[in-house]
Structure 1
Amino acid sequence: MGKATVRDLSGLFEPDRVAVVGATERPGSVGRALFENLADFDGDVVPVNPSRDSVFGHACYASIGDVPRPATVDLAVVAVPAATVVDAVGQLGEAGVENVVVVTAGFREAGERGGRLERDLRETALTHDINLVGPNCVGIISTPAGLNATFLRGTPPAGSISLLSQSGAFIAAAIGWAARNDVGLKDVVSLGNEAVLDETDFIAEWAADPETDVVLAYLEDVDDGRRFIETARSVSAETPIVALKAGRTDAGGAAAASHTGAMAGSDEAYQAAFAQSGVVRAMDVESAFDFARALTGLPVPDHDDVAIVTNGGGPGVLATDAVGDSRLSLADFDASTREALADVLPTPIAAANPLDVRGDADVDRFREALDVVAAADEVGGVIVLCVPTGPLAFDDLGAVIGGVRSRVDKPVVTALMGGAEVAAAESVLGSHGVPNYFDPARAVESLAVLADYRDGAVREHAATTAFDVDTERAERIVIRALDRGVDHLGVEAMELLDAYGIPTPAGGLAESEEGAARIAASIEGPVVLKLASPDVVHKSDVGGVEVGVPTEDVRETYRAIVERARDHDPDATVLGVRVEATVTPAAGVETIVGAKRDPQFGHLVMFGLGGIFVQVFEDAAFRVAPVSERDAREMTREIQAAPMLRGARGREPADVDAVVETIRRVSQLVSDLPAITELDINPLVVSPEGVCALDFRARLDAAARPGDDCPNSDPPEYYSDSSSGSNMSSIAQSK
């Protein structure tokens, strides 16, 4: 983590003088491509190469120190062999050059030797306080300055989308796509290996840039996840961020020790981080540019009810299906809107939504229909669909749609589904910020993204509040386990939950048959016995759980459970058997609350449908810790089983407030105890009266051991043959 300094990167995009270190006329070389691409730069270009006297008519200097003063070099692009890059950057720093782009490859991506070179490069850049892009990148572009400091072919048209990418190949493809589709870009940055500057630095820079309306980011990884969330949350409130995250699969999930660990892959962490920071996520390249275009030129809708106006029934059906699959809904035209449409449309046309103005519609009919629909209060946005017909000229329709968009503060998107005749209309539409799509579904999706961004932009960050918990007691439990060489916790550590105020059934850990009988005698009614062994993860599979055991049978049952464990694994560590009050899951909904430590973002907290089928249905929601009350409440709404919590099919609603509090307490627990890498409370039974944690497991990391000043001289309570002072919920008490 550690790159928290806010840097001024304007010199990268607004230089007056650019030096190309390694400039040459040699055909096919990177140094030549860089120099040729800078031919249209508004300022001066200075070649630096000790092997040449001139490059394309420009006087060439042996080193940066030989460049005549007092004119300064604002930006240097380095294209020399990897072995000489560190020295070259050091000379640039000594000469006072503050902004450097290193396109040279052969660093961390090339192995151990390259990794050492990159560490030296980073140290050199930081010593001289250089804003360094790369190494191993394709360069940067700033269209307002005429700056193309890349070795790629072509320059994109000027616009207000600023693009960053961790893939140079994506930059190359994006430039060509933008030029072909007339999508304007402002700044373009290929991040390369991110030795100094990373994606968060540029997101912060473009937040202060009045010429950047949207940030589009291609990401494969984020180095400092918490810094990214904090920065993106602040930036996205004013400047939309669209992220295309590659590498969505997580092959390592199968090796996880908990349900949460198996389900909470890296992509879930990114999805949660994007949601919590207001970043709009795109799942493919086409969508990424669709979303960026919509967010660049259109206002966000006041509400999610939209209208479809079309001259073709088929496209209208496609758009209606797409609306049904999205967060949007079709607006219900009120009486005044229907009357106004009846006044301007031929009698056979029904004033319904979708509004089919028929295949014989000319531009005037479209204009009259759009004027009425776009002005209706019940319409938050408009989707215009059109196929080419004899009575209609697309360029005239483009002007009509653009005029409507200019008169109303609502988003308008189009799907003009034609061939060559669409181009003229797109040019007119583009001048009004209206994007056109061939596929009606893409038009609908882009309109839905505006609503997504609206919700994220108005979302105020809710501060998390800490509960009054017994952290020292919890630390003692973790330290004791680590001292014994244990990297798992199970039901023997239920007191860990108790220390954080998470309700558990009354009971305790018994180390003998007699201890089990004593605990059972303190509990009214039949009890539950559970094997306590860090080496047996799935207790039920080995006969390690017995439910509804009468008090008089506790000794025999204790003995049988231990014997089964020994038969299953003679070397397994058996700490005893937990004896606790019976809680009937049928009295509530079985859910799961868990957490997994993510290398980029820290702990990821999960809530979902629990019980034995948790990984069958995989119905879960995720957030990055710390989790606020609002985030926790949203998690309870996002799962498909949410209606079960709120009283589906005549059931009494569950205590959702208790679930929300438990999610927040788990978030605090794993934030306070980073040694916990995975955690499951499954099931957490939720009833109308409260919650109760019936089972628990966790994985520990000895490298994150709590501080030595934590008291650990006395054995933690969960090792004693006594009934615990468990924070028992009302559901447990009722049983």
Structure 2
Amino acid sequence: MRDLRPLFDPRSVAVLGASDDPTKWGQWIAAGALRGAHRRDVWLVNRKGGQILGREAYTSLAEIPGPPDLVVISLPESAFEQAIDDSLAAGAKAIVAITAGLGEIDDAGKAREAAVVERVRAAGAVMVGPNCLGVYDAAAELDVGSNSFTPGSIGIISQSGNLALELSLLAAEYGVGVSRFTSLGNQADIEAAELVGSYAADENTRVIGVYCEDFRDGRAFARAGAAAVAAGKQVVLLAAGGSEAGARAAASHTGALASDSAAIEAACRAAKILRVATPKELIDRALASLSSDRPRGRRVAIVGDGGGTGVVTADLVTEAGLDLPDLSDGLKSRLSEIAPTIITANPVDLAGAGEVDFWNFERVLNAVLGSGEVDSVIFTGYFGGYSEMNRDFAPKEMAVAAAIVDAAQASGRPLLTQAMYWCSAPAQVLRDGGVPVYRDIEGVVATLAHLVEQGEGFAPGVSEVGAPASPIDGDGYFESRELLAAGGVPFGAARRANSIDAARAAAVELGYPVVLKALGLLHKSDAGGVALGLADDAAVAAAATDMHVRLAPRGYSVETFVDTTGGVELIVGCRRDPRFGPLVLVGLGGVYAELLRDVRLALAPAGVDELEALLLSLRGAGILTGARGRTPVDVRAAAEAAAALSRVAAAHPEIAEIEINPLLVTPDGAAGLDARIVLA
């Protein structure tokens, strides 16, 4: 990992393009840089010189009195290359390029960026941008961007400056601030993955929030995210890329089903990154991730001081697929001993007992959290509002909040809170102690459900692709079968035939009934190029003649007929994503694969255990496991075939798409019935 200290905690900063005009970027950046002038040298550079914000401005970087660790460039694109050369000549170790109008515009701009990056790296420096909004580090008191942030513990990496600002404002509503911010810009040099690694090593950053539109090297991002999570820094990702436009252009079923969004989801699952869809969800997940406790299962208890909020919360918890278990008689007795008015069902309703004695909130929560009967607790209601009602209540309510924090920490179980007065002093005590406090119950339940799903999911880590094998010679049907069979995928017997008579002879050799396929067609079934269960020579001759007239195939494949009764047809395939590399897909298959769209993806190569778990997570998994009296099929064998295919695909970068559809899985095993390759 490169040293990013000069970027986030420089000994000196030069602002190139500093201005005294309050409407210009150069003035905003200069003002922010000067706020840290008590910690470092700050030099303002403007070709006209003069005074800027009460400071003498230098006319060039060559005039400043020492080498700048960090140079911030706020100049037009016409001056970009010269500014880079001047910065490196002055000794800059880090550059923040605000300049726009380059790689985001056209290929010529990308070429200019690439040439600049070569010079930056050759000098041993690093660059953020261009086309970025700056950098902020609370602990280092560095603020060289368009907006300031409230200091805190959430690190933000974003390709959108406005979205980063929205995230900071949402967090500030809950009294949580930003430890570090980087605007990605065009990622010409420093990319999202490198920043995630740097944030993970930052002792002041506890959660990493990322908004990304282009990962560049998605596999590297996933590895960095996995390492951050392993180090105790949860990564929460808001990712663009849900479009299915690219999938529509794919040649195979696998390509059509493996969308950009599904690729991101597969990478997040492997790395234990929490993926969200909105800025609010990112902050909701980040709040809960500030605590080290995670739910160990789906059992939830609701504790509140109002029947209505308890009922609404119970409905949401149930809809989210979480469990609301009945509490034991022993726990109910302990709750009744605290106050006889308490309703001891789940939800638990203090029913006024909190108003009688604020400490009853702590006593009830302590009893439920410590009971071992639930995996997490949702606390909802008026707590925190008493201090708003009467200032005299504040010291006691804050003391109760501190005791609730202690109870949650001692239990090792997550406690998530929704409070009408989410900004009150007692609420902030809870939050400071690692108990997230939300303004809406929907955010609480959705966050808890997401954490439960993450804990239950199979997270194998980010697989390594490895060295490529020798390129394959062809992409025909038999080449596909032979490549996959050599990799460990079972297939039935088949013979290649170049004529109708050869097809008839092959059928005799294999024994009836047989299957006849027309070669040279990508989607043979859709075109009427597959004839099943041909029982004799006459049937084979008739089918081959029909295909010859209609399709003019390159030849035929004659195959042993496999009885599909009692089996399930799956689709297993891989496509190579330009950002995340090879992806393996498993799902319900056959001719209705794209109609059903019941599939799961993983980074390839993938292991058998991971793929078996994905198959069992399909919406239609009951078909595999014996729903409605069916005989269960050999899911493990299907997973082994999928794992073998994923190894083949990972070893051959020249393959854009490869699939088996269908893969027939029966109670006794699995076998490929058709295969295809699409070369890049």
Report the TM-score, using the length of structure 2 for normalisation. Answer: 0.92
CA distance in structure 1 between the aligned counterparts of 2:319 and 2:60, rounded to whole angstroms:
61
CA distance in structure 2 between the aligned counterparts of 1:463 and 1:543, rounded to whole angstroms:
39
Deviation per CA, 1:5-48: give whole Å up to 9, x if none. Answer: x1111222212321111112123111111112233214232101
- 1:335 equivalent to 2:316? Answer no
CA distance in structure 1 between the aligned counterparts of 2:301 and 2:240, rounded to whole angstroms:
34
How big is the shift at 1:200?
A: 0.7
Rate the CA distance shift 1:390–1:373 in 2: closer, same or farther, 3 A. same
CA distance in structure 1 between the aligned counterparts of 2:461 and 2:22, rounded to whole angstroms:
54
Secondary structure in 1 matching 2:636: helix
Give, as a single letter, the amino acid of the residue that structure 2 aligns with 1:680: E
Aligned to 2:524: 539
How big is the shift at 1:649?
A: 2.2
CA distance in structure 2 between the aligned counterparts of 1:493 and 1:459, rounded to whole angstroms:
30
Deviation per CA, 1:153-194: give whole Å up to 9, x if none. Answer: xx2221111110011222233344444443211010001011
Secondary structure in 2 matching 1:658: helix
CA distance in structure 2 between the aligned counterparts of 1:513 and 1:110, rounded to whole angstroms:
57
Aligned to 2:220: 227
Deviation per CA, 1:229-254: give whole Å up to 9, x if none. Answer: 22222221121111101231221222
Matches within 5 A, 1:100-179: 100-152=95-147, 155-179=148-172
Match among 607, 631, 645 for residue 628 of structure 1: 607
Matches within 5 A, 1:630-645: 630-645=609-624
Aligned to 1:48: 45
What residue ranges of structure 2 are gaps of 5+ in the alignment? none
Aligned to 1:73: 68
CA distance in structure 2 between the aligned counterparts of 1:66 and 1:617, rounded to whole angstroms:
68
Secondary structure in 2 matching 1:613: helix
How big is the shift at 1:117?
A: 2.6
CA distance in structure 1 between the aligned counterparts of 2:386 and 2:119, rounded to whole angstroms:
68
Deviation per CA, 1:527-550: give whole Å up to 9, x if none. Answer: 11111123xx33334432222212
Rate the CA distance shift 1:62–1:463 in 2: closer, same or farther, 3 A. closer
- CA-atom RMSD in angstroms: 2.6
Rate the CA distance shift 1:502–1:652 in 2: closer, same or farther, 3 A. same
Matches within 5 A, 1:682-697: 682-697=661-676
Rate the CA distance shift 1:677–1:689 in 2: closer, same or farther, 3 A. same
CA distance in structure 2 between the aligned counterparts of 1:555 and 1:338, rounded to whole angstroms:
74
CA distance in structure 2 between the aligned counterparts of 1:519 and 1:595, rounded to whole angstroms:
31
Verify the 8 A CA contact 1:361 1:391 in the aligned structure 2: no
Rate the CA distance shift 1:160–1:462 in 2: closer, same or farther, 3 A. closer
- 1:680 equivalent to 2:675? Answer no
Rate the CA distance shift 1:281–1:399 in 2: closer, same or farther, 3 A. farther
Aligned to 2:546: 561
Aligned to 1:604: 583
Verify the 8 A CA contact 1:513 1:554 in the aligned structure 2: no
Moved more, 555-564 or 133-142: 555-564
The count of aligned residue pairs is: 666
Verify the 8 A CA contact 1:86 1:124 in the aligned structure 2: no
Matches within 5 A, 1:229-268: 229-238=222-231, 239-268=233-262
Verify the 8 A CA contact 2:163 2:279 in the aligned structure 1: no
CA distance in structure 1 between the aligned counterparts of 2:532 and 2:128, rounded to whole angstroms:
62
How big is the shift at 1:555?
A: 4.6
How big is the shift at 1:415?
A: 1.0
CA distance in structure 2 between the aligned counterparts of 1:666 and 1:328, rounded to whole angstroms:
35
How big is the shift at 1:464?
A: 7.9
CA distance in structure 1 between the aligned counterparts of 2:526 and 2:634, rounded to whole angstroms:
31
Aligned to 1:724: none
Verify the 8 A CA contact 2:569 2:665 in the aligned structure 1: yes
Verify the 8 A CA contact 1:361 1:392 in the aligned structure 2: no
Verify the 8 A CA contact 2:516 2:540 in the aligned structure 1: no
Report the TM-score, using the length of structure 1 for normalisation. Answer: 0.85
Aligned to 2:19: 24
- 1:526 equivalent to 2:513? Answer yes
Aligned to 1:376: 371
- 1:412 equivalent to 2:415? Answer yes
Matches within 5 A, 1:289-688: 289-326=283-320, 328-346=322-340, 349-358=342-351, 361-362=354-355, 363-387=358-382, 399-407=399-407, 408=410, 409-417=412-420, 422-452=423-453, 461=461, 478-481=472-475, 489-490=476-477, 493-534=480-521, 537-566=522-551, 574-688=553-667
Verify the 8 A CA contact 2:174 2:437 in the aligned structure 1: no
How big is the shift at 1:82?
A: 1.4
Secondary structure in 1 matching 2:512: coil
Moved more, 338-347 or 19-28: 338-347
CA distance in structure 1 between the aligned counterparts of 2:498 and 2:509, rounded to whole angstroms:
16
Rate the CA distance shift 1:500–1:558 in 2: closer, same or farther, 3 A. farther
CA distance in structure 2 between the aligned counterparts of 1:305 and 1:390, rounded to whole angstroms:
28
CA distance in structure 1 between the aligned counterparts of 2:463 and 2:220, rounded to whole angstroms:
16
Give, as a single letter, the amino acid of the residue that structure 1 aligns with 2:541: E
Verify the 8 A CA contact 1:215 1:240 in the aligned structure 2: yes
- 1:276 equivalent to 2:270? Answer yes
Verify the 8 A CA contact 2:465 2:604 in the aligned structure 1: no
How big is the shift at 1:453?
A: 5.4
Verify the 8 A CA contact 1:359 1:389 in the aligned structure 2: no
CA distance in structure 2 between the aligned counterparts of 1:198 and 1:308, rounded to whole angstroms:
43
Aligned to 1:727: none
Deviation per CA, 1:677-696: give whole Å up to 9, x if none. Answer: 12221111111111111122
- 1:210 equivalent to 2:213? Answer no
Verify the 8 A CA contact 2:271 2:459 in the aligned structure 1: no
How big is the shift at 1:697?
A: 2.4
CA distance in structure 2 between the aligned counterparts of 1:576 and 1:413, rounded to whole angstroms:
65
Rate the CA distance shift 1:561–1:651 in 2: closer, same or farther, 3 A. same
Give, as a single letter, the amino acid of the residue that structure 2 aligns with 1:560: T
CA distance in structure 1 between the aligned counterparts of 2:628 and 2:245, rounded to whole angstroms:
39
Deviation per CA, 1:359-390: give whole Å up to 9, x if none. Answer: 56423432332121121112222111104899
Rate the CA distance shift 1:342–1:208 in 2: closer, same or farther, 3 A. same
Aligned to 1:726: none
Give, as a single letter, the amino acid of the residue that structure 1 aligns with 2:164: I
How big is the shift at 1:150?
A: 0.6
Give, as a single letter, the amino acid of the residue that structure 2 aligns with 1:103: I
Identical residues among aligned pairs (%):
33
Deviation per CA, 1:245-298: give whole Å up to 9, x if none. Answer: 123122122222111111111111110011111111111110101111111145
Verify the 8 A CA contact 1:562 1:576 in the aligned structure 2: no
Rate the CA distance shift 1:655–1:329 in 2: closer, same or farther, 3 A. same
CA distance in structure 2 between the aligned counterparts of 1:553 and 1:493, rounded to whole angstroms:
29
How big is the shift at 1:391?
A: 8.1
Give, as a single letter, the amino acid of the residue that structure 1 aligns with 2:403: G
What residue ranges of structure 1 are gaps of 5+ in the alignment? 1-5, 482-488, 567-571, 702-735
Verify the 8 A CA contact 2:325 2:346 in the aligned structure 1: yes
Aligned to 2:190: 197
CA distance in structure 2 between the aligned counterparts of 1:113 and 1:463, rounded to whole angstroms:
35
Moved more, 390-399 or 354-363: 390-399
Give, as a single letter, the amino acid of the residue that structure 1 aligns with 2:146: F
Give, as a single letter, the amino acid of the residue that structure 2 aligns with 1:367: E
Verify the 8 A CA contact 1:544 1:564 in the aligned structure 2: no
How big is the shift at 1:463?
A: 6.7
Rate the CA distance shift 1:385–1:176 in 2: closer, same or farther, 3 A. closer
Give, as a single letter, the amino acid of the residue that structure 2 aligns with 1:525: Y
